Structure 1
Amino acid sequence: AAHAAAATGTPVVLLRRPGWRAGPGDDWHPVGSLPEAADLLPGLGDRVFLTTGRLGLAAFAHLSGLHFVVRSVEPPDPPLPPDTRLLRDRGPFTVADETALLREHRVDVLVTKDSGGAATAAKLTAARDLGLPVVVVRRPPLPDGVPVVPDVPTALERLARLDGLDGLGPRPR
């Protein structure tokens, strides 16, 4: 999108919530990709709560000997890890919800992407409270020269300052 905007002279603003930060009591293992997360798992636990989204599950499909709990709104496409329990659900979830899920499925490691924001952080709090390691897949680097804003109101404010995008239609010349 950044390259297309630059090539066409189209204004662009990237909405990117502030990333999560580990706090006291967190046992985080940051990695740069889903394959790196998969490589790290066998040393961290046997029962994995995988919350990286339905499109990245192939990175874990070669792992046998681990049990995966995968939560997804839509059914994932194969390949999946051989021992996978699929939970179809949509958040947001509370810390109590996440704690109950982790206990019910006897999860001993969480894998997630750093999507930032408070709405998705309940699983991190539950993992901290239960003393579970968390593999956090870092975000990709930001494109050069693209302005970044942390929230929707700031994005709308930024867009409103662009000519003709203030909600009132084109400005008279």
Structure 2
Amino acid sequence: MVRGAYTLARVAVTVRVAAGWLWWLGVVAAVPGTAVTFSPTGRRIGVTAGAALFVVAAAVSFLVRRGRHAERAKGASRAAKSVFLQDRKVTARAWVRRRRWWLLVVFVLAVASNAVLPCAAGMLLGGVGAGLWLRSRGVARIERSRDALLWVRPDGNPALYQLTGIAAGDAAPGGGRRRR
């Protein structure tokens, strides 16, 4: 255990933020593909391929390493009283700030791919976002079953989860806004 004060971020919030950003970037990247009038494959094939990619990407991003959160939750320790719990907005802002260039590159590639296969790459991004949103619902289920929230050090080892009570922080189980 680390001595002194340190910061913890919610696991579910980081998964949910990734889901939201990838979903909306995918939607925005797919919309110009509907306006493409000529491409080597055609609009109908692009949209059909995009729908298949959406389903496959959602399933893969939900199922791959799905049990990782449950395994890490079993080995989680109680958070010390000296920790600082990050707000949802701070965690989201930090996640986006660390990955903004990757998000920009993926978005530009998805928009550019509309010239070859309309809508497909945008729908692929949206599928990954949908799968991650489903994964955040799985984390919420784990948190409710343990009656504790899962936290991780943003600057430390992401495999070391820590627990707090269900009322800690400003996010509900699953990373959404807490209803008042």
- Tell me the TM-score normalised to structure 1 length: 0.27
Higher strand fraction (1 or 2)? 1
Greater relative CO, 1 or 2 (CA 8 Å, sep 6+)? 2
- Tell me the TM-score normalised to structure 2 length: 0.26
